[in-house]
Copies of this chain bind each other. A is one copy, B any other.
Amino acid sequence: MAIPEPAKTRLLHLLALLEREGKTLTSTRAEALTGWTRDTIRKDISHLGAEGGAGSGAGYAPESLVPLIRRALALDRKRRCCVVGLGRLGSAYVNYREDAANGEFELVAGFDINVNRLELLSAPVPLYPAYKMGEVISRFGIEIALLCVPADAAEAAAEKLAGAGIRGILNFAPVMLSLPAACVVRNVSVMDELRSLAIKLP
């Protein structure tokens, strides 16, 4: 019954494409955008259950497929998030409102070690000094942290987050984090994205 990892990753990409497209994606266009054959896509969709027939001859309709993919990938339950480190990038994310669109992720707190900075910032969620991380994370049941601190502070902050029960970290700092298996790390970097783009340039 479990969906294989590569199929999950492709379904996630298909989900993002369907949402961006906002209308039915023809098989031909889906092949062009993803680089996968329609057989691969059909097989991935077959994991979504009986209603998966949604993606057949007529193309892929977001109104039927988006909820099916979200359910199959367990993205249909809200997860609480926080932003750690409120420099330029962290401040941008703590004000990010795309989460409102579908309610998968709810930003509930921001943290920074610098109390003066907290007083200068405005944000749609409460901001706390870093020493309150453990208490706030457990009080609100926060599962995911966007780690936006400088490179040399990242490992210590990540260890505190893992200790406080955070289950996943989006790591924007350009360093490798070493954490217990109970806390999953995903490294995110605009440099990696620029490189991925650069190797595709004609």
Contact = CB atoms under 8 A, between A and B. Distances in A.
Interface string A81-108: 1000000110111011011010011000
Number of copies: 2
A188 B192 CA distance: 11
A16 B194 contact: no
A59 to B, nearest CB: 15
A118 interface: no
Q: Is the interface of A mostly helix, strand, loop or mixed?
A: mixed
Interface of A: 5, 8-9, 12, 15-17, 19-22, 35, 73-75, 79, 81, 88-89, 91-93, 95-96, 98-99, 101, 104-105, 143-144, 146, 167-170, 174-176, 181-182, 184, 186-202
